[in-house]
Structures are given as C-alpha cells and as structure tokens.
Amino acid sequence: MTPAEAAVLLGMAATVDNRKPDEDAARAWAAMLDGLRFDDCRVAIIEHYRESSDWLTPEKVRTRVLAIRKRRRLEHKRQYGELVPPPGLTNAEEHVWLRDAVRAISNGERVDCAAAHPEPVAAPQHLRELIARATPDLTRQETDA
C-alpha cells in the first residue's frame, strides 16, 4: 500500500465521517495496511459504511479485507471443489503451487485445477488407449479370454 493509495482510501472515509486526512495520516495508514491490495481495502471501506456509522480505523479495514479474501476462497471451493495440484510436482513445488493458487483465489481470480492436469485425467478413453499401448500383453490376454 502506498501513501498515495492510502490517501485515496482516507479521502473515501472523509466523505462520510468528515475526518481531515493529511500526509502523515496517509503514511500511517499505508504502513498499517501494508501488504493489502488497494481494491480489497476500497471494498472493505464501502462495506463498512454500508453497515456501520462507526469511526473507521486501519484495523477495521484489515479485518474486513481478511474476511473478503476468506469469502472468495470459500466461494471458489464451493464452486470448483478442492485445489488439486498438477501431478508430478515435488513436495516443495506442490507447496508453492498451492500457496500461489490460494493467493490468486484470495485476489478474486479463478484457479482451474482441471487445466493443471494432463489430458488423460479428463479423457478416460485416451487413458485406456495409453494403458493398452503400454501393456500389450495384458490387453491381448483380455481379448483372448
């Protein structure tokens, strides 16, 4: 979060609660909201003032942003199911993939787990053909029986 972004957020709050933001306040808010996305903070401020007339603080913005990000993850899980990393990754690579996927979902993106898997997972007939080519003796035994 930059001081310029924090100044915009403070300006939004000022239109509602008549606070008098200045450069020091913007720098302080930027420090306290560091690591949060501007768009998420903006949504948090809008949600806050739709539901409350309480004085808005960085802690309230941070709490709402975390709730927004959690809602996105739960909604993604509800719509698309559990995250399934692509096959063939090491434990470390799987950890990185999952971390990046959760971050992307929290940011409002969709992670397509099916696209992360090779075609045979989505095409059973193709998988059967691959197995038949890899194990010709077993396939002949089945046809002979």
For the chain, give the percent of residues with pLDDT over 90. Answer: 66
Residue 32 scores a pLDDT above 90: yes
- For 1-145, where are the alpha helices, taking DSSP H only? 3-17, 23-32, 38-51, 58-80, 91-106, 119-122, 124-134, 136-144
Work out the mean pLDDT of the chain and round it to a whole number.
86
pLDDT digits (tens, 9 = 90+) for 99-141: 999 999 999 998 877 665 555 445 556 656 766 777 766 545 5
Return phi, psi of residue 85, to 5°. Answer: -65, 155
For 1-141, list the strands marked E by DSSP: none
Residue 130 has what pLDDT? 67
Residue 18 scores a pLDDT above 60: yes
Mean per-residue pLDDT for 66-90?
A: 90
Residue 86 has what pLDDT? 85
